[in-house]
Amino acid sequence: DIVMTQSPDSLAVSLGERATINCKSSQSVLYSSNDKNYLAWYQQKPGQPPKLLIYWASIRESGVPDRFSGSGSGTDFTLTISSLQTEDVAVYYCQQYYSTPGTFGQGTKLGFK
């Protein structure tokens, strides 16, 4: 299985500041035939299911605020929140869908400083 490792495990950021979450895969999730990275990002708030934010590593899901962006390729990926808002406090997960079984990172808990 591809192991997804996120860093840090937890993060505290001031309101309006930038938050950066990293995700590293144990093998490349870039498919050379179509030049796509098979990676998604989710946000999970307490008592709620995960919510899709980004797929194909950088495509923002419809309705997701543009302060959320995804970047990276191969084995190293980043989710960036450009200006933290109160509603962004949550746990964030990355997920690879390059090979079966699809696997998730352990999560990064984002809170306020």
Partner 1 sequence: QVQLQESGPGLVKPSQTLSLTCTVSGGSISSGGYYWSWIRQHPGKGLEWIGYIYYSGSTYYNPSLKSRVTISVDTSKNQFSLKLSSVTAADTAVYYCARAHYRDMVRGVVGWFDPWGQGTLVTVSS
By the criterion CB under 8 A, which residues form the site for partner 1? 38, 40, 42, 48-52, 55, 61, 93, 95, 97-107
CB of 15 to partner 1, least distance (A): 26
As a whole number of angstroms, the distance between CA 67 and CA 27 comes to 28
As a whole number of angstroms, the distance between CA 29 and CA 73 comes to 8
Within 8 A by CB and 6+ apart from 21, the residues are: 6, 7, 8, 11, 78, 79, 80, 92, 108, 110
> Nearer Cβ to partner 1, position 98 or 111?
98
> Nearer Cβ to partner 1, position 40 or 84?
40
CB of 113 to partner 1, least distance (A): 23
CB of 17 to partner 1, least distance (A): 26
> Nearer Cβ to partner 1, position 5 or 80?
5
Amino acid letter at 48? Q
